[in-house]
Every structure is written in C-alpha cells, then in structure tokens.
Chain A
Amino acid sequence: MTSHCAILPVLDDDDREFELDDYEGVTARWCPGCGDHSVLTAVEKLLVAEQLKPEQTVFVSGIGCSSRFPHYLKTYGFHGLHGRALPVATGVKLHRPDLEVFVVMGDGDCCSIGAGHWIHAIRYNIRMVVMLLDNSIYGLTKKQTSPTTPQGFKTNTQPFGSFLPALNPLTTTLGTTNVSFVAQTAEWVPAHLYATLRAAYRHQGFAFVRILQRCPLFTQGMYDEAVRNPGMIELLVHDDGVVAPELDKIYKNRVAHDPSDLDAARRLAEDGGHIRLGLFYRNEARARYDLLRKPPKVTSSERIALLNAELDHYAV
C-alpha cells in the first residue's frame, strides 16, 4: 500500500492496510544519539500495529527539541507554543472526539511553562496519549536548568550546580485529582517503551507516560550507568501492567505492583535510588471530561428554530 492510498476515489476504510512508510514524515533532524529517535521509532511501530488511520491521527506538541516530533510523521500535526500543547489537544478532542490525539512535550515544556495546563489536563482526563520526553534539561535553548534537572547538576544558568531537588513528574501526576493512567519508561529500553505506549494508547482516558531520555549533548553520561547496568532498574510487574516478557532475562530487579493501588503507586514513585519503569497507576472509572461534554448533534434548521425560540424570550 502506498502513501497515496488516501486519495484514491471511494475507499472502503476497512480495506486499507497501513505500513511503516504510511506514517513516515521527513527525516528526523535530532542530534545523533538523541533519545527522541527511539521514541519516534516506537511510536511508528505502534501506529502500524494498531493500524491508526493517518488522517484520523493528530500529534500535538509544544516547543523544544522533542516538540519537533509531529514533523517527522505523516499524520496531522500541530506544532504550537512552548508549554501550550495540552490546551490545543484539549480543543481538538472536545470538538472532534473521533480523532486519535497524541501529545509530545519536553520537561521544560510540560513541567515548567506548561505546568498549569498539565495539572488541569490530568484532571480533565480526556482520552489522549501524553508523552513527556524527559531529558532533564532544556535542549533546544542549549542546556539551561529544567525542573527535572537533578540537584547539583551543572547547567548554563546554574553553572555551580542546580540548586533545588528535581521535580518528580510521577508524584505530581499521581497526586492530582482524577489521575487515570501514569507510567514510566526509558527510551533505551525499546521493548518496554513500546509496550508502555501500547498500554497508554489502549487506555480509555488521559494516559501520561514519562519517558526517561538521554541528551547526548547536554546531559552526557546522566544515564550511562543505568544503560550499562540493568541492575539499576526496577521493573514494576503485574498481569495488568506493562507486559514485556522479552525483558525478563535482562531486568532481574522486579517489584510486584498492582496498578489499581494508588497508595502503593505513590510510594513507588518517590525517588528511592532506583529507576522504576512500569505502569504505576490505571483507573478507567475516572470521570472523563470528553465524555461528559459530548454535545448533541444539531442540524441547521434545528439551530434556527431553537434560536428563534430563544429570541422569543427577548421579544418586545
């Protein structure tokens, strides 16, 4: 199937079968070694596996290295303002619940300038997949401190070391009313990354995935040890969690965790020296703003009749 399939005259949607090149945009121009490449690969794999219609799929991003993401796909994309991807995604979904929406944000984007929107988007719990590509640094503007920069890490704006402890996006998310899906994965564990994104996509609600990510230029070495030594990583395992059996042999450090247990999720999300990957929390019973706000379909004539009745109240 070629990428031009979509413009064939009358197509029975069900007949179409999408392959990788149906989703591939222009060649990604991230730095060699940037973790964003592997996220893009995992996402493309997911799009193929789930057979998402390219024209029904929208990637919304803010501004930053990671926010270039939509340009590298051949779906619809909205590359907007720094920190403001979530309001745009909210607007898309409120108006067009039929669209599949993915949001890509950097750590400065989501947890600093966009933090207000982030908290509220969790609460709205609109169905979308939200990827926080967390490289713990401002990449695009070249190495300034981000809210997730580890304390003591030297940056261009805090050259003697970042003053404050890092913000933990997992505890923030898990502490927010109406949270419905929180997972953490790492870009250098592709099988886990993919399995996590798949679980997020299948979640009915706001699926927040923090993806730990290496920046080869500005946080060089930050995850070297974790990449070399799987023992530093603790996998959260459960039949209802992120399931990637191919990792069993490599990652021996495992914690059984039932993702319906919010208290346990919050405890596990606290920094404890380990890097924990897996599904922290899932609850599909949460209130969903997109379902609560579905307006009825109204025809033009009905609209006019309704407005005429409305004007009657104001008639002289």
Chain B
Amino acid sequence: MTAVAVPVESGLRPAPTVLKRPEHTVEIVSDSGEGAQKCGQIFGAVSAKMGNGVWTVEIIPAEIQPPPRTAEGASGNRIRFGTGPVTNWGDETNLVIAFNEQVLLGRHLLGTMAGDAIVLLENSWATNSNPDIRAAWDKALAELSAQSYRIIEVPMEEQCLTIDENPRKGKNMFALGLLAYIYDRSLERIEDQIAYAFRKKSEEVFQRNVALMRLGVEWAAANLDFRIDVPTHPPTEALVVMNGNEALGMGALASGMELCAMYPITPATSVSHYLAEVFTKFGGILHQAEDEIAAVGVAIGASYAGKVAFTITSGPGFALKTEFIGLAVMTETPLVVMNVQRGGPSTGLPTKVEQSDLLAALFAEPGDAPRVVIAPATIEECFHSVITARQIAETFRAVVIILSDANLSTGVQPFPRPQLKKEWLAPELDLAPVKEGQRPYEWDARMGTSTRAIPGQPGGMFTVTGLSHDEGSKVAYDAGVHQHSTAMRSRKLAVLQQTLLRPALYGDQDGDLLVVGWGSTKGAIEEAVDRARAEGIRASSVHLTFLSPLQPGLKEIFSRFRKVMTVEINYSDQRGDPFITEENRRRGQLAMLLRAQTLCDVDCWTRVPGEPLRPGLIHKAIRDAALTPGGDQP
C-alpha cells in the first residue's frame, strides 16, 4: 500500500501540519451531474478498505437536474469515517469540498457544517464573465466569511483544463485527489476503485480520470498547509462494503429467490438496478411490471407456482400493493415484500428518510391480515433480513415485510463478509405426488401452518381463493370456519414469537430511561446513549428487529426503567404544542404499538426532518427525558 507521495521539494515549504482526529466527516457537494457522488463513493469505499469505520449518506436534491448553482440543488455525498466503527452519519461536517458557492451556502443554511469546518471551494465563479454570477459569489462569500469556517479557494476548473477541455467532467476526480492527499489515502486502492466505477467505459476514460485525480493530489501537496490523520485499523477479518439496497439485492441472491417483480420508485429502485445486472446469471428474473399492483401480483403468482418470490417498493407503491398482500395472507402464499420507506404522506419526500410506514406495514389491508414485519438496522442486517424473511415466509406460508428506509438504501458501510451457506437457499421444487387425503389448509393447530400442494404435484389439485375457505380450500362462509381459519392465520405469529430472542439491552439493565428504536436509527441512538452515559445519565436503549410479532419480554424490560421513550423518524405531537393534550396527543408509530401491546406509558421523541436523526439531538432528548421527573412504569 503506497501512501501518497508528496511531490514537494523539501525546504521550499514548511511541512504541513498534521491534525490527528479519531474521526472526521466530509461532504462533497456539486450541482447534479458533476459527479460529486462518484467522488464520495470512491472515497468512502477506499476509506473502508484501508481500515476506517465508515458511514456514507447521499445528498440528493429533489429534482433530477435542478437549476445549477442553487442552494437547494446540492448533490453529493457525506462520508463519516473514524478509527473505530461508525454506525451513523453523525452531527456536522468537518470538511466540505464545494464546486460552487451556492451549493455550499445551501449546506451552511441547513446547518450541516461544524463551526470550525474547513471548506475547499472552487473559485472560478469569482471571475466569471457573467456579472450576475460574480455578484452572487460576492454575496454568498460575505455570508460564509462571516462564519468561523476556514475557506480555501481552489482553482479546480483551471487545473482540470490542463487535462480535459470539459472541466465540469473532471472536477470530481480532482476533488478526489484533494481528499486523497489530505487524508493520506492509498492511490493504488483509489485507482482500483476508479477502474471499477468506470468498468463499462474505455481505458482512455479510466486513464484520464486517474490523471485528474493525481493532479488533485499534486495541487493539494503544493498548496495545502495541513493534512488530517484519522488512524486506520486494517481489518482483521474479511469485510465487504456496499449500500443497503445492494445488500438487499445480494440477500435475495443468497436466499435463492428467483423472481423479483417491481415498479420503479425511489428510494427502492436501485435494488432492481443491481439485480438487473446480475440476476439472470443466478437463474433469476427481474420483472418490471406495469404498476405496483401488477408487480406484487406477479410475485404472488410466482410464489404460488413454487418458490418464494419478492417485490420491492416504497410507501406509495406499498399502499397500492396492500389488497394483494391481503390476498397472499388469505391464500397463505409465501411472499417477501421489501419496503424501502421514504418521507410521506403521499409522494412526500421521494429521496429522504422517514419511518412512517410501520403501522401501514402492520395493518394496511382489507380485514385482519396478520403478517410478519422485520426492520434491518444496519447495512449488514439488510443482507441477512432477506434470508430470514424468505425462510419465515416459506415455513409459515406467510407474508414477510422488510422495512428498510432511505437512510439505509444509500448508506454505505463495511461489514463482515457473509459466509454463504447452502441452507440459506430455497429448496428445489418438490413435485412428488401429495399424499392421499391431504387437504390444502389442514392447519396444524400447534403451528397455524399447513402443507400446500403446488401446481405440478399430482393429486393435490385445488383452487386457492381469497374468499373465506375451509381446510379443503372450499369457499365457506360459516361462522365457525371463519373464526377457526382466522385464528390459524394469526397463530403463526404467536408461534413465531416463541422462537424469537428477547432483545438485548444496550447499556445497563435498569435505569432512568430506556430508549426504544427500530430500523436505521440504531447507530445514532446508541451513540447518543453513549454520550448520555458518559455524563452519568442512567440511560440504555433497546432496538427492535421484529415489529410483528414483537420480540418477547418487552413489558418486563420496560418495568426496569423509570421512563420508556421511543426514538423514531415519524411524526408525533410534541408536548406543549398548542392544542396538544395527553388525550389527543398523536404518538410515534412504534410508541403507539408498544403502548397497545404492553400497557406501559411509552413516551416518544420523533422528528421528520427529511434527514437521518443526528446523535447530538437524540442525546439532548435523552438528557431532557432522563433528567425530568415522572414516568414510573407500573
């Protein structure tokens, strides 16, 4: 591994100051189409490979091509990396590379930058031929300079023009070079990563990008008076690094599912982009249906015909699928549904994170349709959740919904390389004749399950129906039959629950406050708990993977804390808001569920900022809750 060779004649310049930091958070922002995301992805991946803990988040504007040079149009990547594991995007950025002053201003106005942030800013706009642009630069710089940021102007375009006549295209690689120098990243690894990123392009494109990156390194070495050292711990075990949607796609491959039917919707679609490239060689089909309803119908048809199939979607698409999900429950056709949640209601915040589909995932169906709901909390869990989901779906002839979200979908994190197992794969179709007299819904009252015949099995011919039916799948509206069959469909959840482990506590076994979370907030919650505990606050947290059925033991765990509070990215009324009383207060979705299930007074702290929760804010909420009186669980 070659560290960056610094091409500076010794003696001419003082050696750069090296700032040693346990972690750093970098943002690179540009107009859409200028490639900041690619730069960030490569930097994040290389950092992980060199042995930093990493969490990256994409910064995505709402439009595909927002007008250039606008504060709202910032597109790019945020990379938090540290010497130890990094489990969330953190609070504020320490270093920003901006391709124009307007996107930088946008980040500043959103409050994403630390007060002492270092800024590397493209400065060609200061001398642009357009007087409006020059005026905008002056105005923005006046605002930014009034802050305590350290702003370093960088002639990125001017430099890139020495290699490529279109500087817009090369700046991202130049910026990557700046980062490589500042953080002393391995150029070999960066080149490997560039090669992979441009694997579909020509050798010439690869060479040009490498040259631009090296130009950035040289410029930084000649002009910057500092470097930042975030010590790395080269990993002791094999790791892989990917985002949550890639992990879901790979989980599907590792679980042996062979059909995915979907309809494009952000932020779920990239699961299908990944599968579209590789699924066929795994013997699978990625079917882009005419709409979400068709997509889930195709998946159900495929599952009915033999092996569990799956569909991927996000909130609005999930809403459309609900009638079919009810049918899958009623016909007991195994099905896996991945819902990569986004902000709602309606089309809401297409590219931004929220956890508002929990209750919809649990209940949004015609009638009583019990189904399993699980929520991965990390990129690694995105991978494993699919395997678990397929196995549960198959074992219980059930619908399993995986609730991921926009934070996980684009978040990139290293995790231990999975050791693939044959048992994870769906078994081959068994088309042996069914045994004589076997009926399609001969429920085993201890499990709620029954063995089904699939097309191709002689002797098993029956018609599945979404209408109420008896053990022979015969349409039957009798009171007794409906009561019994509903009980059997429900019993599966109770049986599954008995196989689940009690959730592990993070922190002490008792105390003043227990924070309960689910899904992608885990890292931020645990970091906030750590900070609170360091201050002597008696707070712990517990993170739920299973939301339906809930993991066992919750009531007992809650009883050991004076207060219980969920932290979620969905809406709840805040205490003290006008019109809000204890009676009419709308609570966070998990809080609502836990109150109903445990009869405990579960409070909630929730926000819907359209960005992942920051550990700093959770920490403050923990402090407020733990240090105020009240609570006292029954």
Chain A residues in contact with chain B, CB under 8 A?
4, 6-7, 11, 25-26, 53-60, 63, 70-71, 73-81, 84, 86-96, 98-99, 116-117, 119-120, 293, 295-298, 300-301, 303-304, 306-308, 310-311, 313-316
Indicate if the CB atoms of B309 and A7 lie closer than 8 Å: no
Contact between A95 and B307, CB atoms less than 8 A apart: yes
Judge whether A298 and B291 touch: CB under 8 Å. no
A87 partner residues in chain B, CB cutoff 8 A: 289, 293-298, 300-301
A120 to chain B, nearest CB (A): 4
Contact A94 B420 (CB under 8 A): no
B241 at the interface (CB under 8 A from A): yes
A296 and B463 contact, Cβ closer than 8 Å, known pairs A91-B304, A311-B250, A311-B418: no
| In the complex, B477 has a CB within 8 A of chain A | no
Interface digits, B269-282 against A, CB 8 Å rule (1 contact, 0 not)? 00000000011111
Q: Which residues of B contact A75 (CB under 8 A)?
A: 461
**Contact indicator A295/B258 (Cβ below 8 Å):** yes
Q: Is the CB of B282 within 8 A of A78?
A: no
Return the chain A residue nearest B458 by Cβ.
A6
Give the interface segment out of B19-27, B35-43, B232-240: B232-240
* A291 to B461 Cα, complex, angstroms: 27
Report the bound CA distance from A93 to B306 in whole Å: 11
Interface contact B256-A91, CB-CB below 8 Å: no
CB-based contact A117/B420 at 8 Å: no
Contact call A315/B259, Cβ cutoff below 8 A: no
A88 to B196, CA, bound (A): 39
Is B281 in contact with A296, judged by CB distance below 8 angstroms? yes
20 contacts between A and B (CB under 8 A): A57-B455, A58-B305, A74-B461, A81-B327, A84-B324, A87-B297, A88-B297, A88-B300, A91-B299, A91-B305, A95-B306, A117-B290, A120-B289, A298-B283, A303-B253, A306-B253, A306-B281, A315-B238, A315-B239, A316-B238
Contact bitstring B459-474, A, C-beta under 8 A = 1, else 0: 1111111110000001
Contact B285 A295 (CB under 8 A): yes
Complex CA gap A313/B463 in Å reads 45
**Bound-complex Cα distance A306 to B631 (A):** 54
**How far apart are B632's CB and chain A's nearest CB, in angstroms?**
47
**Do A117 and B458 touch (CB < 8 A)?**
no
Instruction: Tell me the complex Cα distance, A4–B462, Å.
Output: 14
Size range of the chain B interface in the assembly = 35 or more
A132 to chain B minimum Cβ distance, whole angstroms, is: 18
Taking Cβ atoms with an 8 Å cutoff, the residues of B that contact A are 48-49, 196, 235, 238-242, 246, 250, 253-254, 256, 258-259, 261, 278-285, 287, 289-291, 293-307, 309, 323-324, 327, 331, 414, 417-418, 420, 422, 425, 433-436, 453, 455-467, 474-475
For B48, B49, B290, B462, the residue with the greatest tally of chain A CB atoms inside 10 Å of its CB is B290
> How far is the CB of B222 from the nearest CB of chain A, in Å?
31
Question: Are the CB atoms of B261 and A91 closer together than 8 Å?
Answer: yes
Q: Measured between alpha carbons, how far is A306 from B420 in the docked complex, in Å?
A: 11
Which residues of B sit under 8 angstroms from A73, Cβ to Cβ?
463
| Extra contacts besides A91-B304, A95-B307 (19): CB < 8 Å | A54-B458, A54-B461, A55-B461, A56-B455, A60-B301, A71-B465, A73-B463, A76-B462, A81-B327, A87-B289, A89-B301, A92-B304, A117-B293, A295-B283, A306-B282, A307-B253, A307-B282, A316-B49, A316-B241
Q: Within the complex, what minimum Cβ distance (angstroms) separates A72 from chain B?
A: 9
* Distance A81 CA – B322 CA, assembled complex (angstroms): 12
Supposing A90-B298, A96-B456, A120-B290 touch, asked if A293 and B461 sit within 8 A by C-beta, the answer is: no
Most chain B CB inside 10 Å of its own CB: which residue of A11, A70, A95, A296: A95
> Which residue in A79, A119, A120, A300 is a CB contact (below 8 Å) of B463?
A79
Q: How far is the CB of A80 from chain B (nearest CB, A)?
A: 6
Q: Are A314 and B466 in contact (CB under 8 A)?
A: no
Return chain B residues, CB-CB under 8 Å to A54: 458, 461
Q: A21 to B86: give the CA distance in the assembly, Å.
A: 67
Is the beta-carbon distance between B305 and A316 smaller than 8 angstroms? no
CA distance A59 to B455 in the complex (A): 11
> B285–A293 contact, CB under 8 A?
yes
B609 CB → nearest A CB, Å: 30
Contact A79 B283 (CB under 8 A): no
Please indicate the chain A residues that have their CB under 8 angstroms from the CB of B287 in the complex: 90, 94, 293
Which chain A residues lie closer than 8 Å to B418 at the CB level? Answer: 311
A76, B473: Cα distance in complex, Å: 11
Q: How far apart are the CA atoms of A314 and B331 in the complex, in Å?
A: 39
**Contact check: which of A25, A78, A88, A311 meets B298 at CB < 8 Å?**
A88
Chain B residues near A25 (CB, 8 Å)? 463
Q: How far is the CA of A128 from the CA of B243 in the complex (A)?
A: 40
Most chain A beta-carbon neighbours within 10 Å: one of B258, B284, B455, B457? B455
Is A96's CB under 8 angstroms from B240's CB? no
**Nearest CB on B from A122, distance (A):** 11
CB of A120 within 8 A of CB of B417, answer no
Partner of A92, one of B305, B417, B466: B305
